[in-house]
Amino acid sequence: MKIPDASAAPSCNRDEGDEPRLRDLLDFGGDSLSAIERWQIGFMRRSFEPGMLDRAIRGLQRHVGANWIEASIRNLRLVYGRDRLPTFDPAKSYVVVSNHRSFFDLYVVTAYLVKQGMAHRLVFPVRSNFFYDTPAGFVVNGIMSFFAMYPPVFRERHRAMMNLASLDEVVRLLRRGGAFVGLHPEGTRNQSVDPYALLPAQGGVGRIIHASRAEVIPAFINGLGNDIVKQVASNYTKKGTPVTVVFGAPVDFGDMLDAPASPKHHKRISEHALDAIRKLGEEERAIRATLC
């Protein structure tokens, strides 16, 4: 899902002090949000509050969602760079950034981490169309991801400014701790024939990283397709294309996170994260050459 760069938009308004005031998605959306969108956003917000619902969703993501993904890919998946991963603190939040070749990249990457003991609540921004403006989208979100797909991203031109509030919603979740957010610096899915030729970085991811100060883990994934039936079948026959995942050490942004916020600076942060993914891509290219 594309995370908007908001390159032409102003920075967040500020209260007293240096911290930006985060936009509220429901208030900022106003009448532009449909009744079902408002209800679903409200439900998702309540689900992050400490209590039975949050515990249930975390448990389902950890014990059901990760298990079925693991069962669907484990015979094809090869993982490298595990020793570079940090020890995940349940009280902190993290961001994983990866290249974007299929609809399932982040699910495979994060499912592996969950099976390794990462206990955080998974969050993946998703398009509002279908997932937030229809009852069926709510059901699919619940059954397929156990409500990992949040917050909504708006594709309509007349609602583009609402994506600033969606970015702020992600920042708010990261700041409160206990979230693991999956993002694609490329923005949209890369459909080129060359999996190593990444698309230009978009500034929306940089905006989230800059405002949240969350630790950022880069990953490169290759070999996944968008035909989920064919992919799962090839996993069980063990004759499919290998799916390689390469993790990198947390990205060192130096003093970039201390610089003043601006659209140009957000894009530089996204580019820096994408560079880390690109380097992992070259590592994966060398690994894949040995698999042939």
Q: What is the pLDDT of residue 18?
A: 42
Positive or negative: CA dihedral 97, 103, 106, 109? negative
Q: How confident is the model at residue 228 (pLDDT cuts 50, 70, 90)?
A: confident
DSSP state, 234? Answer: H
**208-215 mean pLDDT:** 97
Q: What is the pLDDT of residue 236?
A: 93
CB count, 10 Å around CB of 279? 14
Helix then strand count (H, E) for the chain reads 10, 7
Cα separation, 189 vs 184, in Å, equals: 9
Cα separation, 254 vs 68, in Å, equals: 38
**Least trusted range by pLDDT, from 7-11, 162-166, 199-203:** 7-11
Q: What is the pLDDT of residues 89-126, one digit of tens each?
A: 999 999 999 999 999 999 999 999 999 999 999 999 99
Q: How much of the chain is helix, strand and coil, in % rounded to 5?
A: 45, 15, 40
**170-188 mean pLDDT:** 96
Q: Cα 266 vs. chain centroid, distance in angstroms?
A: 17
Q: What is the pLDDT of residue 227?
A: 87
The answer to whether 198 and 278 are in contact (CB under 8 A) is: yes
Q: How confident is the model at residue 2 (pLDDT cuts 50, 70, 90)?
A: low
pTM of the model: 0.91
**148-164 mean pLDDT:** 94
DSSP state, 61? Answer: I
